[in-house]
Structure 1
C-alpha cells in the first residue's frame, strides 16, 4: 500500500488526542471533584468506579461484536468515530456538572453520567484502536505511528497543568461552575478533533468480517485466546500499566497538596512529568530501530519505579528530582505497548485462522479499563480507610495512607510489570517467522 499522507497521519492521531482531552481530564480531576466539589465520599466514588468497570465487562465485548460485523462504504471502524464524537463530548460535560439535587439523587446522577461516558467512550475507542490495522500492514510503521499518537496525546495532556487556574478563572470562585466550564472547553476541542479524524482518515486495507468470523462462537474465542500467549500477556500488561498510571495520576494532587504541602507547584509538576513522558515516547521511536520493543518496555517499567521509591523520602526536592527519570520510563512503556496489539492479533490470526480484530481490541480495552478501575478504586478506598477529610489539614494517619497509595502500590505494580513483560514471547524476529510461515 502507499504511504499514509501527512493529513491522514495527523487525523488518525487527533482521534486519540480528542478522546484523551476529556478522558485525561477525568482521570486527573474526577476523584477530587467528586470528593471535594460534587460532595460524595471517597468510598462512594471508588464503588462507582468499580460498578462502571463491571458494566464495561458486558459493554465492551458487545461493541467489539458489532465492530467485527460492520461493513460500510466508509470502512469497518471509521463510522463509529462519527457516531460517538458528540456523545463523548456531552457526557464529558455532564460528568463535571453538579446538579441541584439531594444526596441520593446526586449519587444516581453520578452513576448515570459516569457509566454513560464510559459506554460512549467505548463506542469510540474500541473501533479506533482497531482501525490502525486498516491503515498499514507494516508492523514497524504501525508502531511508529502509535508512538507519534502517544506523544501528541501527552503534549496535549500537558495543558491539564492549567486546569486549576482555568477552573478559578471560569468559575469566578465557584469550583462547581469552573470545572463544568473547563470541561466544556476541552470537550469542544475534542469534538472538533474527532470530526477532523473522521474526515481525513481512509481505511486502505480491508479488514472485513469473513464468513468464518461471522459464525465465530464463544468456544472459538476461548480457543483463540488459549493459543495466543502474546495477547494474554498483553491483557495483564494493559491491566497493570494503566492501573499504575491511574493510581499515580489520581493520587498526585493529594500527594502534592497534603503530604508535601506544595499545591501551587502542581501545574509545573504536570508539565514536567508529561513533557518527559513525551520525550520518552519519542526516544522509544528511535530505539525500536536498534532494540526489541519488549526490552525497551521492561527498561521503562524499572525506570518508572524510581518515582515511587522517592515518595518515601518525604522530601519534596528529592521527589521532584526523580520525576524526570520515572516519567521517561513511562514514556518508554507508552511508546511501545500499543504497537504490540496489532502484532499479537495478527499472530493469533496466523495461528488459528480467526480474524477477530474487534473482539481482540475490545478485550484489550476491557483490561485497560479494569486497570483504570483499580487505579480509581485504590486511591478512593485508601483515602476512606485512612480517614481523609476534604479541604482540611490531614492527620498523620492520612498522610501515611497517601504515601502508601502513591508509593507502595505503584512500586509493587511496576516490579510485576517488568517480570510479566520479560516473558512476552513475540519479539520482532519471532513475529517475522510466524508471518512468513
Structure 2
C-alpha cells in the first residue's frame, strides 16, 4: 500500500479534530463578539465597524489565494502543512489578544488601530487555517475516511463554539467586565487554541512528511506548478466555483445573524441571559447530528443532503420572523432548533471541498489541496465582510445607539437581520448548489477511478 493511501488511525482522526476545536474557538469568538466589543467597549460607531470589516476583507482578497499557493509549495522537515500550524498558532494567539484590546485613542486612532489589528489577525488566521483545512484532503483519499475526518473536526468545532458561546459573557463578568474582563477571556481562549493546533499537528504527523509529500508530488504531472497553473486549478473548477458562490451567500447571512444575536436578546427581548443559554442548548443538542451526517451522505449524497438541510433550516426561521417578542419560550425553542440544524449546512461544504480537490486534479493533474481550500477560507472571509458591513451599516441607518433604549425602527431592523436574512441566504445557497454543483457520489467515484488509472499508467511507463 502506498504511503498516501495508508489507513488513518482513530487516534489520528481524534487528534486532527482538535484543530477544529481551536479554529472555532477564535472564529466564533470574533464573529459573535467583535462587533459588540467594538461598539460597546471600544466605542466605535456601527458604520465605522462595517468599514473596518470591509477594508480587512478586501486585503484578504489578495492574500488568501496566494497563501494557499505558497502552502502547497512548502517543503520542510515538518511536512507541507504542519509547520504552519506549529509556528503560526502562537502568532494567532498574540494577534487575537491585540484585536480585543481597547487603548485610549482618538476616534480616528481607534479606527486605525482596529483596522491594523484586524488585518494582522486575519492574515495570521489564514496562514494557520488554510493548511489545517487542507490536511483533510491529503490525510486520506478514501471518501468514507474523509467524511469522518471532516465530520469529526466539525464536531470538535461545535464543541469549541459551545465553549465560547456559553462562557464568554460569564468569563468577562468574572474577570471584572470592561477591557479587563475581555483581556483575560481572550487570553484563556488564545492559549487553548495553541494547544489545540499542536495536538492537530501531532495527529497528522504520519501523513504530512517529506516522504509522503515526495510520493504525492510524483503522482502529479507538475510537482511544482506555477501560480498561473494554480489559478487555472481554481478558475476551471466549476463545482468549486458553485460551492464558493453558495458559501459566500450563506456565510454572509449567518454572520449577520451571529453579529446581531446578542443585540436581539439584549434589546428586543430584554433577556441577555437567554443568549448564552441558546448557544449552550443549541450546540449541545446538535452533537448527535454529527454522527448522522456521514451515514446520510453515504446513502443520499452530499449535494442532496445539503439542499434538503437548507430547506429544513429555513422553516423555523420563517416562523420566528412572524412570532411576536412576547412569546419568549417559543422564540427560544425555535432558535435552539435552528442551532441544532446548523451542523448540516456547516459540515457539508467542507465535506464537499475535498471532492473539488479531486475534480481539480482530475481536470488539471495538479495536487492543489491548500490552493483549493484557501478559496473556501477566502470565501468565508468575504461572506463575513459582507455580513459585517451590512450589519453595521443597517444598524446605524436604523438609529442604533450603544447602551441606550432602542427606537422601534432599530428593534425592527435587529429582528429582520436576525431572522429574515438567514432565510434569504439559505434559499439562494440551495438554488446555487441544486443548479450548478454536479458532483454526486457516482460522479466522484468515477473521478477517483480515472485519477488512479492515470497514475497507474504513468507509473507503468
Band of TM-score, shorter chain:
over 0.9
How many Å separate the matches in 2 of 1:203 and 1:422?
38
Matches of 1:290 and 1:363, distance apart in 2: 28
Instruction: Tell me the alpha carbon deviations over residues 107-131 of structure 1, each in whole angstroms, 9 at most, x when there is no partner.
Output: 2111111110000000001111111
Rounded to whole Å, the distance in 1 between the matches of 2:46 and 2:217 is 45
What do residues 60-107 of structure 1 show as CA deviations (whole Å, max 9, x unaligned)?
A: 122112112111232111111112110110111111111132222222
How far apart are residue 229 of structure 1 and its match?
1.4
Give SS of 1:290's match.
Answer: helix
Measure how far apart 1:244 and its partner are. 2.2
Q: Distance in 2 between matches of 1:85 and 1:226?
A: 31
**Gap regions ≥5 residues in structure 2:** 451-461
Deviation at 1:326, TM superposition (A): 2.2
Offset from partner CA, 1:269-326 (integer Å, 9 cap, x none): 1112222433333321232232212111111111221343213312333322322432
Structure 1, unaligned runs of 5 or more = none
Counterpart of 1:52?
Answer: 56
Corresponding residue SS for 1:40 = coil
Question: Who is 1:273 aligned against?
Answer: 282
- What's the counterpart of residue 234 of structure 1? 243
Structure 2 counterpart of 1:96: 100
Q: Note the C-alpha offset of 1:265.
A: 1.1
Residue 8 (structure 1) aligns with = 12
Deviations 1:397-434 (A, max 9, x none): 10111122112221111111111121321011111112
Query: Partner residue of 2:402?
Result: 390
The one of 130, 144, 163 equivalent to 2:168 is 163
Question: 2:331 corresponds to which residue?
Answer: 319
- Distance in 1 (alpha carbons) for counterparts of 2:223 and 2:64: 18
Cα distance in structure 2, aligned partners of 1:122 and 1:5 = 27
Q: Indicate whether 1:120 and 2:124 are aligned.
A: yes
SS in 1 for 2:334: helix
The question of whether the paired residues in 2 share the 8 Å contact of 1:300 and 1:328 is answered with: no
Q: Tell me what 1:379 maps to.
A: 391
Q: What is the TM-score with the length of structure 2 in the denominator?
A: 0.90
Distance 1:275 1:185 in 2: 21
Residue 350 of structure 1 corresponds to 362
For residues 223 and 86 of structure 1, what CA distance do their matches in structure 2 show?
Answer: 33
- Comparing 316-325 with 14-23, greater Cα deviation is found at 316-325
Q: Secondary structure at the match of 1:314?
A: coil
Question: Distance between the aligned counterparts of 2:185 and 2:443, measured in 1?
Answer: 47
Q: Is the 8 A contact 1:304 1:328 kept in 2?
A: no
Q: Choose the corresponding residue for 1:245, options 250, 254, 258.
A: 254
- Distance in 2 (alpha carbons) for counterparts of 1:421 and 1:272: 30
What CA RMSD, in Å, does the superposition of the two structures yield over aligned residues?
1.8
Match of 1:426 in 2: 439
1:87 aligns with 2:97: no
Return the alpha-carbon distance in structure 2 between the equivalents of residues 187 and 227 of structure 1.
38
Residue of structure 2 aligned with 1:399, choices 389, 392, 411: 411
Aligned to 1:216: 226
How many residue pairs get matched? Answer: 434
- State the TM-score, normalized to the length of structure 1: 0.94
Q: What is the distance in 2 between the residues matched to 1:37 and 1:342?
A: 40
Per-residue deviation, 1:352: 2.1
Is the Cα–Cα contact under 8 Å of residues 16 and 204 in structure 2 kept in the other structure? yes
Q: Find 1:262's aligned residue among 264, 271, 277.
A: 271
Change (3 A) 1:307 1:390: farther
Residues 165-211 of structure 1 show CA distances to partners (whole Å, capped at 9, x for unaligned) of: 1111102xx42111111011111111111222223322525344867
* CA displacement at 1:226 relative to structure 2: 4.6
Q: CA deviation at 1:223?
A: 4.3
Structure 1 match to 2:421: 409
Residue 39 in 1 paired to residue 24 in 2?
no
Shift in Å, 1:154: 0.8
Q: CA deviation at 1:38?
A: 0.6
Q: Hey, what's the Cα distance between the residues in 2 that align with 1:307 and 1:186?
A: 32
User: CA 1:48–1:272 in 2, change beyond 3 Å: closer, same or farther?
Assistant: same
- 3-state DSSP of counterpart to 2:300: coil
Deviation of 1:228 after TM superposition, in Å, equals: 2.0
Q: Distance in 1 between matches of 2:306 and 2:221?
A: 37
Partner of residue 137 from structure 1, selected from 111, 133, 141 = 141
Offset of residue 164 of structure 1: 1.0
Counterpart of 1:151 (choices 149, 155, 170) is 155
| C-alpha distance in structure 1 between counterparts of 2:256 and 2:286, whole Å | 16
User: Is the CA contact (8 Å cut-off) linking 1:9 and 1:145 kept in structure 2?
Assistant: yes
Residue 184 of structure 2 is matched in structure 1 by 181
When residues 350 and 371 of structure 1 are mapped into structure 2, their CA distance, relative to the original with a 3 A threshold, is: same
Structure 1 residues 223 and 165, CA gap change in structure 2 (3 angstroms): closer
Q: Does 1:335 align with 2:351?
A: no
Partner of 1:284: 293
Please give the alpha-carbon distance, in whole angstroms, between the structure 1 residues aligned to 2:23 and 2:175: 22
